[in-house]
Structure 1
Amino acid sequence: MSKIFFLFTFIFFNLVTAFGQSLEKKINLTLDKKAQIDLELSKTDENVKKLELLLREKRKILLQRARALSYLKSFKWGGLLSLDDPSKFDLNLKILAKLNQYDFNLFKDYKSAIRNLAQGRIDLEKYTAELQAILTDLKKQEQLLAADEERRKKEFTRANKKSLLTYKGKMPIPTEGQVKLSFGSHRDQENEYAFLVRGLLIETKPEANIVSVGPGKVIFRDAIPYWGETLIIQHDDNYYSIYAGLQMNKNLSDSVQINDIIAVTKGKEFYFELRHFDNPINPKGWLKEVL
């Protein structure tokens, strides 16, 4: 009987973990999609605003031309059509042709601007609807993940196993400072592209203390490109916390407890991530408070 119970417990934990992982992966894929839609929506919105401004300018010019044409109705055309000087007549014809072509192009451009604006508004509605659908889907996924985490908490407690979930909402902020970039999608205004932040980029001061957000063991201690000196702590239940941009106090295989000072910041930027297996997790809701 006991063997069956432990086998069931083992299978249950693996199934639940797999379910949680799939939800976390799905959430991250949804966030990727949201980042792209955010970018398209932002670009389309800017384009619509530019087209609206362009249309107002073209309308203003057309009204000016309409007033000018109204004035020409009272113009004495006899002199313009005089045959006394054929060279002047040819010149006048060319002037009239250019005026007509200019007015024709004005109306043509105005019509094109109206068409482009209408299409821009259609695209704007489409991207807005897509974004709303993504946000609704994301909310459902997050609710499922929260329910799954709650189930896992209870099962780990019953089986007398540990999980970093125990500390969810109680974790200390790893260092003092202000969040420069938060978890989620962002847009580079200058280069017109969307990018995702998988953790927190914190603006801090040099040599500020960095603390562990939970008990665990140091499994990585090395420099990585761009971020410099980086520390990774493995926690129970396949959770990991990542700390980058620091000067380290801990060595490989060192055990740490929650709130232990593990390093100090090296410069003015510090990066922090939480992961479950290889899936990034939004630190919001895990830390006591978000900076």
Structure 2
Amino acid sequence: MTGQILFGRFVVFILFALSVGQTALADELSASRERLLRIQERIESTDKSLQQNKTKVRSLRDELRAVDKELFSLARKEKNLKKKLADNQRQQDESRKQISLLRKQIEAQRQTLEKRIGSLYKGGGGGVIKLLFSGMGPAELDGQFRNMLRIVHHDQKILNDYRQQQETLNRKLESLEELKQRQQMDLAELKKSRKVLARASKLKVQILSKVRKDQRLLTSLKKELESKASRLSGLLKQLETAGDQDKNDSPLARQRGKLPWPVEGKVRISFGPQRHPDLGTLFDSNGIEINTEEQTPIKALWKGRVAFASAFKGYGNLVIIDHGSGYHSLYAHASRMVKRVDDHVKQGEVLAFSGYPGTSGVYFEIRRQGKPVDPETWLSRR
């Protein structure tokens, strides 16, 4: 019984040493998963920011196109308005020339009319008095007089026409001047609008440049985060592989009740509290003892790595297999071992042979996370 206790303590020590590695591995896995989760959250956040930036870029592009279109429209309006102003100025210049010419014509016509009136009424060389005493007959005299009146009326009509034309031109000149003032005001407003739009366009170009720069930075950050996530995923895969060497196969836990026996034979000592068949004392057994003939092959319960293979006082030679995921199987009372530490074994592969001197069988345990479990509940029924 003392040997059983010592063996139990030894196994606990061995599995504790193994579990330290498992715990460290589990801690590293947990920390790596946490880092990966944070990186993935940052990737999602960065991707969201990228999408928002893309929306901003599209919006700014649309706004810039609208501003450029408006600037083009204003430039075209300004060009047309300047052309109209130039036409207006030409019309004003032409009207002023016509007014100046009309004034000269009016003045000349006025002087001519004054002379004729003076001749008629003041007795000049062709005056009325002279006409009366010219010796002409009444009919002839009347005809001459009427001719003179027609000339005077004609001159007066020409003079009035000139004055009307001058008034028309003056009104046109005033209208053109008013139009010019309105056009100049419109032109000033257009120039002001163009300046405002030009500043807005420049500002939007700067914002667009910054947003694009942010987008490049976010894209670079996303790629870096994705690279980190990829590397971390690879590390996780390695760690998970280290914790469970053959993850593609069904886990050991799924084989519960279906696993092969390490040796053929009858169970001499069962798992749990009981009385020792030879000593008659009560004790807790962490495993089972199976009666078997000497030199019977002891086979691996499940695939795994040899974590321990050496002699242990009172239990002959001991082999411990690490099956991953915190599961271990122990095989004691071996006379000869055929596997070494770090050897990888398959299910059913021979680990050792029974027949250690002074024993009548093989001692067998299964441990989960360092704690012993009843092996018979894991082995197939016979």
| TM-score (structure 1 length as normaliser) | 0.43
More helix, by proportion: 2
More strand, by proportion: 1
Which one has a bigger Cα radius of gyration? 2
